[in-house]
Structure formats: C-alpha cells, structure tokens
Amino acid sequence: MTRTLIICTSVSHGNTRRVAEAMAEVLGAKVVEPDQVELAELGDYDLIGFGSGIFNRRFHPDLLRFVSALPGAHGSAFVFATSGLPGVRFEPLLRALQDKGFKTAGTFSCRAFDTWAPFKPVGGIRKGRPDRSDLQAARQFAEGLRGR
C-alpha cells in the first residue's frame, strides 16, 4: 500500500486544509503542517502531498521555505492549491520538488473563498468554496493517485 503524507499550510480561511482532509480520507493519509514534520520520517512515505493557498501568485512562504530546506528525496510528490483566481502557477514549486529528487505525481487546484485586499470591499469572492463539488473533485484526484 502507498504510504502517503500530506503537508499543508492553510492560514487564511482553512480552505486548503479542507481540500487536504478530503484527499487524506481517500489516501488514508495524515495531514500535517510543515512545522509538525519530522524530517527523518519523510523517508517512510512513498507519496507526499504539498498544498497551500495562493498569496500574491505564489504558494505560501512557509511551505516554500519548508521545501527548500528538505533533504534529498526518492518518492513522488503531488501539489495542490486553493485560490480565488484561476491560473495557479504550479511550476516553481514542482521544480523545487524535482530539484530535491521527487517525481511529480500530479497537481490539483480549486477556487476558494478569497478576502485578498482588492476583493475585501465586496466581502470577498468565491464565498462558500471549496464546496461539495470541489471536495468531490479533490477526492477524485486522490483516487487517481491511489490507482497510480
């Protein structure tokens, strides 16, 4: 069985955490924050997921810092994000993970409640998301990873 860990930074509304938990159910995975990870244990996992919200077009700095401090790896990684706007730029994080030796297993993103400054005056955008169908899409993505 594939042993999976999901590392998730979700600081704004808990949006990405909800997506991570949906994936974790399917994968039988634990969801942790970067500062809860024991680096020595990472070798126990075949597949590691990395996710956060998008802030100023980037993954959260805590997650990026964590990845750049990782030792070399041998397993596979998937990357996921929640964001107000479409067009998530996965490449910089994927490249950083590949540089550490991870194979890319897949990427996932969905829209989510966003109270970034430009949208604050209107009470934010994408209220109520991730919704049931977003979480269903996250589960389906995870099924695909499980069946790799």
Ligand X SMILES: Cc1cc2nc3c(=O)[nH]c(=O)nc-3n(C[C@H](O)[C@H](O)[C@H](O)COP(=O)(O)O)c2cc1C
Q: Which tokens go with 128?
A: 């109520």
By CB under 6 A, is residue 10 in contact with ligand X? yes
Mapped onto helix, strand or coil, the DSSP state of residue 5 is: strand
Instruction: Report DSSP state, residue 114.
Output: B
Among 50, 78, 113, 141, binds ligand X (CB under 6 A): 113
Compute the least distance from the CB of residue 32 to ligand X, in Å: 14
What is the Cα–Cα distance from 65 to 86, expressed in whole angstroms? Answer: 24
Among 56, 72, 122, 147, binds ligand X (CB under 6 A): 56
By CB under 6 A, is residue 11 in contact with ligand X? yes
Among 6, 48, 102, 114, binds ligand X (CB under 6 A): 114
The region of 11-19, 23-31, 42-50, 97-105 touching ligand X under the rule CB under 6 A is 11-19
By CB under 6 A, is residue 79 in contact with ligand X? no
Burial class of residue 48 (count of CB atoms within 10 Å of its CB; 0-12, 13-18, 19+)? buried
Compute the least distance from the CB of residue 56 to ligand X, in Å: 5
The CB-nearest residue to ligand X is 53
Write the DSSP assignment of 92-111 as a string of letters: HHHHHHHHTTPEEEEEEEEE
Among 7, 54, 67, 70, binds ligand X (CB under 6 A): 54
Q: How far is CA 77 from the centre of its chain?
A: 10
Q: Binding residues for ligand X, how many (CB under 6 A)? A: 22
Among 15, 34, 63, 134, binds ligand X (CB under 6 A): 15
- Is 134 in contact with 86 (CB distance < 8 Å)? no
Count of Cβ atoms closer than 10 Å to residue 10 Cβ: 22
The binding site for ligand X (CB under 6 A) comprises 10-17, 53-57, 82-85, 112-116
